[in-house]
Amino acid sequence: MLPETVMERYEAETIELMWQGVWERERAFSVPNPTAPDEADERRTYVLEMLPYPSGELHMGHVKNYTLGDVLAHVRRRSGYRVLRPMGYDAFGLPAENAAIREGGHPRVVAERNIAAIREQMHRMGWAIDWDREVSTHDPSYYRWTQWIFLRFFEQGLAYRREAPVNWCPVDQTVLANEQVIEGHCERCGAEVEMKRLEQWFFRITAYADRLLEEMDLLESWPEHVLTMQRNWIGRSEGSEIVFRIEELDVDIPVFTTRPDTLFGATYFVLAPEHELVPKLVEGTHHEQQVMEYARHAAARSAVERADPEKEKTGVFTGRFITNPVNDELLPIWVADYVLMEYGTGAIMAVPAHDDRDYEFARRYELPVKVVVVPADGELEEGAAYVGHSEDERLVDSAQFSAMSSAEAKTAIVEWLESRGLGRPAVGYRLRDWLLSRQRYWGCPIPILYCDGCGIVPVPDADLPVLLPEVDEYLPKGRSPLAAAEDWLRTTCPRCGGDARRETDTMDTFVDSSWYFIRYCDARNDDAAWDPAIANYWLPVNQYIGGVEHAILHLLYARFFVKVLNDMGLLAFREPFLRLFTQGMIHYLGAKMSKTKGNVVSPDEMVERYGADAVRLYILYMGPAEDDIEWQDAGIEGMSRFLGRLWRLGLEVAERGPVEAPSGAPLVRRAHEAIAKVGDDILRRFQFNTPIAAVIELVNDVYLVKDDPERAGEVRFATETAVSLIQPYAPHLAEELWERLGGGRLWKEPWPQADPALLERETFELVVQVNGRVRDKVEVPVGLSEPELLARAKELPRVRAHVDGKEIRREIVVPGKLVNFVV
RNA sequence: GCCGAAGUGGCGGAAUUGGAAGACGCGCUGGACUCAAAAUCCAGUGGGGCUCUGCCCCGUGCGGGUUCGAUCCCCGCCUUCGGCACCA
């Protein structure tokens, strides 16, 4: 053994930079596309982590995300797979634009500076990425194809334009999608959102609502809670549409309800303030002024006020009455803010006895409450609506439907209405169409022209990309900054040759990230967005890894895109991501890391102090990858210490030279147990913390006997195994030690396979219980019969102490584990 | 309010199919090495008790249940976190 003073110290930075250079020179992780792609190739796999937004600095969430993917990719590749693992940048979007406005300069310059920085940091982490496939969504060679896809959607009628009440952020001066409004506030800047009516572009995602639900069956493994969140977001509910009629005005108003069984309990009728019939109802009546004032006021109210559940519902009577089609009763028509224009038909029948909201409203405005469903025991709670269901509930006061159960009545009443043309079964969705236009500069231009003669005209494919023009002012003033680029704006119509203007809105960045995983497959293709043969070879993604914050939007949008592209025959599969893993967040000092709170642990600093390997190891050792976990400064010290321990062991063992390991030696067996554990944990259980513990244990075991010359062979084998198993986590150190131990390129080395024969034990420790309590343990040979095991157990003095003098009523034997005496 | 996930030593966590609770790391304690310290190596470390080479009791948020046996399954609570929240 070398004296400690002579032992070479572990210099993480030197070793890491050296090996990063080797990987780059040897193109270690480049995976070219096959010349004859075979879609059925079982030995290929696509490991993908979510596209980073290049904010200028890598954060610990990225480190965790990409290290998870890295470990998986290494193990898969060494297990004989062709592994596609690309990287890119979600570079369009508000933050870069805001930074440019703040600091002066061009958003492109800001974005590209940030990309350069984050790329550098990614290289420094040593992630095994195929950099030949790098893409950035802001690059014309990428967004050209984003535009091309938009045009395909447009052709299919899946991209359309309409005026719509939209969420308007007064600070960012732009329209927000519903999803970007959090409790009435802008997701990005926190400002209170206002309502505005504007011409907007939408994707018709609602046309795919059912398929987004049904085709969840095609997914191999997604976290149940993510699927639940998507189901809730889509919010499919089955009910019926029922037509009410205002005789005096000759007007029919349909409503959507999930409770047609309560139709006889309707005591009033409500229209949303924005409902188009409101003005007609009150025109020329003495209610007109009051109602119109109320409607204007309610409609203009910001989402935050309207969504506040604490707020009392308000409304106003219109003076009109509408006929309940089931019994010809006249119901007063109200306009109230608790009815939403965007859901159902913007009108409801109100059944205060059986709906909480209607009940609350009826109490406030002293409207009648009529009970039509009662539980079997007839007990109804005072002062509340009966909304629940009980097994034997029955309808009352509902003409020929009385005495039916709710379920029976639902069908019967709708059938009765349908036969008279007054109703039909219908489905409602919470999901709205995807509002994709943004009145901002830094996004993908929408490739559309407006011609005075031809109207809306798509830009011909041959004219793509529609490049972002240069402008002087990025700050939007209520219209897109693109509108200021006069030369760019004016163009000629490709159909009639007349004057035309360009669309000045840009796309939501979720559009860019809804197809990037396809582009990676064929990233350098200048003739098409992708070659279908190549896309179908790699895709769908076998393992997708990312933050749970994208559980709804990004994942839903990407699924939608793939379904549409599949329908067009451009892709052969219907779901983009077969397996999804959502990682937990990293907290520090008791809170989510954030710049504003100042509790950020910088990956750069940690890499500088401990090296990339220690950071990679610790980020996965902290706990289960799906859990939120707390960063502990002392924790990374521990990992750094372990790497030092492995390093010293490796050098010592290398120094001694090769020695043959006797098969079946204890450390050889221990090494095989570690191999089995690490492989199983990563590949089957998707558990990344316990494999590290297993390797640490192996190293600890080696340390206890490493100086025994008799055991040099098994020590060497166990050390080599530890180095090989830790390679996915700490690739630099592992590579260096592997070379010093006389090996070649470890990243090309096959992943170790456990020898089942060596996992077999000759003896095992039999646990002996009396009445379910452990009383003793004894080492016994494997393969003893049950009576033999029981006999061995009964001999034990401590067992005798608890059994003697008592009657053994039962003997339980779990082969290979334990016996239990019940006395 | 509705839906979902979780609760284990001083801390992060482990226990894979109902079979030894606390692997591994951190922290702490003791020892070795050193003039000393750091680093390193070795050992101990859930709580309580006793007749202390050992043995007994308690212990996985709380209260019940099923079982020879429960961190794991069932019922009812509590707490924390996440999602949705006038969606008719």
pLDDT digits (tens, 9 = 90+) for A670-701: 999 999 999 999 999 999 999 999 999 999 99
Listed residue (A115, A113, A89, A121) closest to A20, CA to CA: A121
Contact residues for A337 (Cβ-Cβ < 8 A; gap 6+):
A273, A298, A301, A306, A313, A314, A315
Is pLDDT at A311 greater than 60 in this prediction? yes
Q: Which residue is nearest to nucleotide B85 (CA to C1')?
A: A309
For position A817, what pLDDT does the model report? 83
For position A498, what pLDDT does the model report? 92
pLDDT digits (tens, 9 = 90+) for A212-256: 999 999 999 899 889 989 999 999 999 999 999 999 999 999 999
Sheet holding A586-588, edge to edge: A591-592, A586-588, A629-630
pLDDT digits (tens, 9 = 90+) for A66-117: 999 999 999 999 999 999 999 999 999 988 888 888 888 899 999 999 999 9
In angstroms, the CA of A688 and the C1' of B56 are apart by 40
Per-residue confidence at A178, pLDDT binned at 50, 70, 90?
low
In angstroms, the CA of A630 and the C1' of B5 are apart by 17
pLDDT digits (tens, 9 = 90+) for A405-417: 888 999 999 999 9
Find residue A764's DSSP bridge partners: A780
The two structure tokens encoding residue A659: 């020695």
CA–CA gap between residue A192 and residue A177 (Å, rounded): 14
Measured CA to C1', what is the nucleotide nearest A255? B88
Measured CA to C1', what is the nucleotide nearest A767? B20
Q: Is the CB of A261 under 7 A from strand B?
A: no
Give the DSSP per-residue string, A26-51.
TTTT--PPPSS--TT-TTEEEEEEPP
Neighbours of A676 (CB within 10 A): 18
HSE of A598, CA atoms in CB hemisphere, 13 A:
0
Q: Tell me, what's the ipTM?
A: 0.95
In angstroms, the CA of A549 and the C1' of B4 are apart by 15
Verify cis geometry, omega within 30 degrees of 0, for the bond prior to A781.
no
Per-residue confidence at A2, pLDDT binned at 50, 70, 90?
very low
Q: How far is CA A441 from CA A109, A485, A610, in A?
A: 14, 11, 41
In angstroms, the CA of A770 and the C1' of B54 are apart by 19
Contact residues for A23 (Cβ-Cβ < 8 A; gap 6+):
A29, A126, A128, A747
CA–CA gap between residue A633 and residue A613 (Å, rounded): 16
Is pLDDT at A282 greater than 90 in this prediction? yes
The two structure tokens encoding residue A11: 């210099």
In angstroms, the CA of A820 and the C1' of B21 are apart by 18
Residues lying close to strand B (Cβ under 7 A), chosen from 522-561 of chain A, are: 548, 551-552
Residues lying close to strand B (Cβ under 7 A), chosen from 762-791 of chain A, are: 765, 767, 769, 771-777
Q: What is the mean pLDDT of residues A447-457?
A: 95
In angstroms, the CA of A805 and the C1' of B56 are apart by 19
Measured CA to C1', what is the nucleotide nearest A313? B86
CA–CA gap between residue A758 and residue A267 (Å, rounded): 78
Least confident of A130-139, A174-183, A206-215, A358-367: A174-183
For position A3, what pLDDT does the model report? 39
